[in-house]
Structure 1
């Protein structure tokens, strides 16, 4: 956990100035075009992966023969997916009402599927072996080179929207190549049909869920780009980054550790239930107050990090941040059931969420609702998904109902406290201090509240779980207890 969170913090510290620089070098239309171009490769990526990385991690036993079979499947699916994307790229451009350049961008971005099979197997092996120091260094190095060096350098040289494409491609290449150099598994594919069928019993279900997660995550982006405009899609894309990126880093860091960790105890129901309750408590207590900080500071964050041309994103950040929190907490629940190998009902949950999104979007457009109406639909869809996951997990682990309910209530109360404190700071300083000073005062107030919570919040389930699991330095809370 500490290695993954260290990487997440480092990436966040780099991502924010990177986003600020790129927001000033490029336009909302550029980001909107990139957001639309990446929709098709992301869709095909679900077929190219087919849950193979998760299958490497989750399988109770893994032989060299299994690795060769999984690599053969990844190689075949990646090549076929790339060919499919190349063929459908012009039709996707037509569907999105995009310019002709969109076709070329889609085809170039899809190149990641040709070298992706190398990373699918090797990354799974690194995670299965709990080699998180190696994973952390790979993630950080790939991010710095791919985005900060390639993307920023290309933008400074006048590449425009293509700088985003080059950065994405460089990042994907390094994420595939570097894990293989750490593992160096056999590159001899083994096309054993019975073994492939056995892998796909689990991987296929994971892939189906990944496909539905893609549709639910990117449906709003496609609808905005098609019916509201490319510039609006750009505003939505940057607002999503600002609202969700810190939250995603926290949750993804946890998920990287939890899937292999919980897979090892998948048959020990009592330990798995206790881990689920503790992780839910910690996750909600971190994500909800952090959303409150971002939402209450959205005006200053947009002005400082993105600039004046992005003011249209200010009102989107709080809504997208809350939707992101709902989605990330639900994603954690999905990680728990995936570690157990029980992923079938996830398909039903994602289908319900997709139905809510499609129906709500159609209704919003019929009533003449604009961008904000579509954001409300997205929020409702994520809330429905989280609620269904919660009902399912409560049935799997009945003893966790009370602690998880308390965790949600405590996180909501703490979020309200944080938002109220930051609102009071803004009211006191607005008009007499510039935006950056107000932002610093808000962040300082949030830091003080967080420190008080860690030191004196022993009654909070999330704080208690973090102490017992060794996620917090003992000096932070023992000093408070001594006082």
Structure 2
């Protein structure tokens, strides 16, 4: 195992540990907040966040990615990037403040929505100023520090501030305070660890050079925002604030554990792949291996979440959120497809080939807009909109597969094999959990059914880890040391 591979594996372990820990905190937090707030509160926050998210990717300007991907980086470069962050972040924050009333009018929200949008605009400046520090941490491959800063800022800044504010009766504003607390604490902790110069250097030539790459990253992020939030905007405008709240909580329940895994891996893979961006053979192998592990894990988790969605919603969110349960399976599948595609996006970003990524996102957006128009025309409701989103994600997945197949034709078979094995395993898990529910329905409370489903899923997972050497993703995880030796030893003896 090379030194880079060893560092990457250690980084994966740390970031996955932080992701699991964050999920463990998020679950009781979401359960508590679902009982302290109403669907209308979550709907207002979801709609308010649409406008700042519109500017979020431009506020960062792809600066963290630019810090990581650059082949060489000097102290002067850092000062230029910080100056760019200060400029772009301030402009975006001011722009959101000005257009807040028009954003509230677009989704037909109450007057309070304008104040919520303007408060969240402050987070754009905070995030932009912290982008240089977070990029430097990732570039230096200090994965333990990245994991700890992410976890601490999430637990203290987001969950701690949010739930305290809710208990004090802040209502929807508790969600705003939690978001701002998260952004601020993450920026401060990241800076404390790298302590880069805070003297901005306004060198226009070098700032344009940074923006050549960072600007394309921002455009990609903006297009991802459109494809992710267009359905939410349509729901809020045509179905109401409460429906947007149900959608928002269903999306959280369906995607949060999956996002933790994807984000943990992306934080490690971007700096690691950037260091070998000119070594085609190693990039191809890394891509095939990452896709094998990713598809196997994410599709399996989706099967667990989707098959037990009714029990999960009832137990974690409560009776007032029952309408979210039927949205969880399809939102989970949409999330899986989007997150798997993000690994392909991370690879091309590490190579600096972000132009083709823009084209793919534009094609996805066109499919989504057309599908949304048809869904609204046919009065398909929320389910019609979800079908349009699913179709757009499938198009994105196919386009990435075709593009990377041309770049790395040698990995065509292992990548396709990874997809097929992940689909088969997720089908097996879904069937097993559905059978458990069928047997126990009407005989046991929902919590007991959920416990039995999770126990069945755990048994299947352990069997795959121990005896699933034929699965490409399991084989890669063993070879890379991603699995504890105690779990794989019996299977190794069998070989």
TM-score (norm 1): 0.99
- For structure 1, the residue ranges without an aligned partner over 5 or more in a row are none
Determine if contact 1:118/1:180 at 8 Å carries over to the other structure: no
Residue 429 in 1 paired to residue 440 in 2?
yes
Residue 119 in 1 paired to residue 130 in 2?
yes
- Give the root-mean-square deviation of aligned CA atoms: 0.8
Counterpart of 1:160 in 2: which secondary structure? Answer: coil
Determine if contact 1:455/1:476 at 8 Å carries over to the other structure: yes
Residue 42 in 1 paired to residue 20 in 2?
no
1:282 paired residue number? 293
Distance in 1 separating the partners of 2:24 and 2:161: 18
Distance in 2 separating the partners of 1:468 and 1:480: 13
Please state how far the C-alpha of 1:422 moved relative to its aligned partner: 0.5
Distance in 1 separating the partners of 2:27 and 2:156: 15
Structure 1 moving runs of 4+ over 3 Å: none
Aligned positions, number: 483
Q: What does 1:292-303 correspond to in 2, within 5 Å?
A: 292-303=303-314
1:15 paired residue number? 26
Please state how far the C-alpha of 1:194 moved relative to its aligned partner: 1.1
Equivalent of residue 267 in structure 1, options 271, 278, 283: 278
1:57 paired residue number? 68
Determine if contact 2:149/2:186 at 8 Å carries over to the other structure: yes
Determine if contact 1:57/1:125 at 8 Å carries over to the other structure: yes
Counterpart of 1:274 in 2: which secondary structure? Answer: helix
Distance in 2 separating the partners of 1:262 and 1:336: 7
Please state how far the C-alpha of 1:477 moved relative to its aligned partner: 1.2
Determine if contact 1:36/1:221 at 8 Å carries over to the other structure: yes
Please state how far the C-alpha of 1:148 moved relative to its aligned partner: 2.4
Please state how far the C-alpha of 1:52 moved relative to its aligned partner: 0.8
Distance in 1 separating the partners of 2:492 and 2:467: 7
Determine if contact 1:51/1:204 at 8 Å carries over to the other structure: yes
Which has the higher mean CA deviation after the structures are superposed, 307-316 or 137-146?
137-146
Distance in 2 separating the partners of 1:374 and 1:113: 29
Equivalent of residue 309 in structure 1, options 310, 320, 327: 320
Please state how far the C-alpha of 1:474 moved relative to its aligned partner: 1.8
Distance in 1 separating the partners of 2:51 and 2:179: 14
Distance in 2 separating the partners of 1:334 and 1:193: 29
Determine if contact 1:38/1:109 at 8 Å carries over to the other structure: yes
Counterpart of 1:111 in 2: which secondary structure? Answer: helix
Distance in 2 separating the partners of 1:184 and 1:18: 32
Q: What does 1:151-300 correspond to in 2, within 5 Å?
A: 151-300=162-311
Determine if contact 2:116/2:176 at 8 Å carries over to the other structure: yes
Distance in 2 separating the partners of 1:396 and 1:274: 12
Distance in 1 separating the partners of 2:28 and 2:267: 25
Please state how far the C-alpha of 1:65 moved relative to its aligned partner: 0.5
Distance in 2 separating the partners of 1:56 and 1:11: 26
Please state how far the C-alpha of 1:135 moved relative to its aligned partner: 1.1
User: 1:198-229: per-residue Cα shift (whole Å, max 9, x none)?
Assistant: 11111111111111011111111111101111
User: 1:253-284: per-residue Cα shift (whole Å, max 9, x none)?
Assistant: 00000000000000000000000000000000
Equivalent of residue 402 in structure 2, options 374, 379, 391: 391
- For structure 2, the residue ranges without an aligned partner over 5 or more in a row are 1-11
TM-score (norm 2): 0.97
Equivalent of residue 139 in structure 2, options 103, 128, 139: 128
Which has the higher mean CA deviation after the structures are superposed, 138-147 or 344-353?
138-147
